Amino acid sequence: MSIANLDKVAILGLSASVPPGEIDNREFVREMFGENSLNVVDSTGIAKRRVVGEGVTALDLCVDAARTLIERLAIEKSEIGGLIFVTATPDHLLPNNASQCQEILELPRKLAAFDVNLACSGYPYGLWLSGMMAKSFHKKVLLLDGQSHSQYVSPEDHATSLLFGDAGSATIIGESPKSDPWYFLFETDGSKKGVLTIPEGGYRNRVSKNSLEYQILEDGGKRRGIDLYMNGLEVFAFASTSVPKLLAELLRETSTEPSDLDYLVLHQANLYMMKRIAKRLKIGMEKVPVSLDRFGNTSSTSIPLTIASELQNEVTGKSIRIAMEGFGAGLSTGAGIIQVGPCVCPGVKVYGT
């Protein structure tokens, strides 16, 4: 069985930070693609989303969330032994975000710090790695998960331009002798690497003069080589078949009935997609919190952002059992069943306020 099992760890606190700049998607779509395209806003469920301004990155949003959380948890920084930064939108190709955050957050130098390059599937991976690290060091681990995909999305690409929002989050994981076990299951299909990709700007297809030129697309849209590309139908096919199957397997193998779960926190990709996944798992939408109407698809950050925005009172006041599933570029899927709360959850902060 390929299920990962972690016991005696807990989320001690979780917070999120979003940028102040808000886009009304109806206005955006009307301006970019005309009145006839407005139904796309309804089917995605993304009425509004927030994007970073010039000079702000996912790192800044995560640092903001981490500062709030560390202060509210009132822990000593010396208690933190590890920092994991999940992002596909790092400040630099080198060095990683995690090392920079050691300095910015004034964390101890005896710190294991690294980035995990994952997009929408990243948060379950981050929790799993953080839990293992906390047990190994017998120290707390700071998990930062932030993405600012809006910065490399073409505003004239019909498939992607209205989907992505930016956000950062911070989660602190520590040992907890009485906690219920956590379970994770992951799936990877590299043969589908091309369906969700930023083709140029890395080391394989290095940035060139041509990468900055907008290419005209079949549907009249435009995109550069350094912008995010998504084959929407392929991604939907993956989301409506493999994604629910993986979580169904995790539920079955851990003898978890949908009624044992308080919530299913899905990656906030697209509302219609989320409804299809929940339907296939026979879980009612009343158990599926939705935040994408205000924040858009924030990639891996959408899971912690949804917990902070929709379940803040729940996780602050009591212990709840949640299943979660992130899925996207790779193609990569991460599913988890964890117990959360009562823990510190300051909710969602607007960056710079």
Partner 1 sequence: MTEERKFLEAIAEILEMEVEEISLGTDFRSEVPNWDSLKGFSILVMVEEEYGKKISVDEFLKMDTLGEILQVSLGKEIVE
CB of 326 to partner 1, least distance (A): 20
> Candidates 11-19, 21-29, 38-46, 256-264 — which segment interacts with partner 1 by CB under 8 A?
38-46
How many binding residues for partner 1 (CB under 8 A)?
A: 16
Note whether 241 binds partner 1 by CB under 8 A. Answer: yes
Note whether 39 binds partner 1 by CB under 8 A. Answer: yes
Of 207, 212, 216, 237, the one binding partner 1 by CB under 8 A: 237
Note whether 350 binds partner 1 by CB under 8 A. Answer: no
> Candidates 26-34, 199-207, 230-238, 296-304 — which segment interacts with partner 1 by CB under 8 A?
230-238
> Candidates 199-207, 210-218, 246-254, 265-273 — which segment interacts with partner 1 by CB under 8 A?
265-273
Report the alpha-carbon distance of residue 353 to residue 334 in Å, rounded.
33
CB of 270 to partner 1, least distance (A): 8
Query: Do the strands 167-175 and 196-197 form a parallel or antiparallel pair, or are they unpaired?
Result: unpaired
Note whether 36 binds partner 1 by CB under 8 A. Answer: no
Note whether 279 binds partner 1 by CB under 8 A. Answer: yes
Q: Do the Cβ atoms of 294 and 329 come closer than 8 Å?
A: no
CB of 267 to partner 1, least distance (A): 16
CB of 106 to partner 1, least distance (A): 47
Q: Contact positions toward partner 1, by CB under 8 A?
A: 39-40, 42-43, 232-233, 236-237, 240-241, 270, 272-273, 275-276, 279
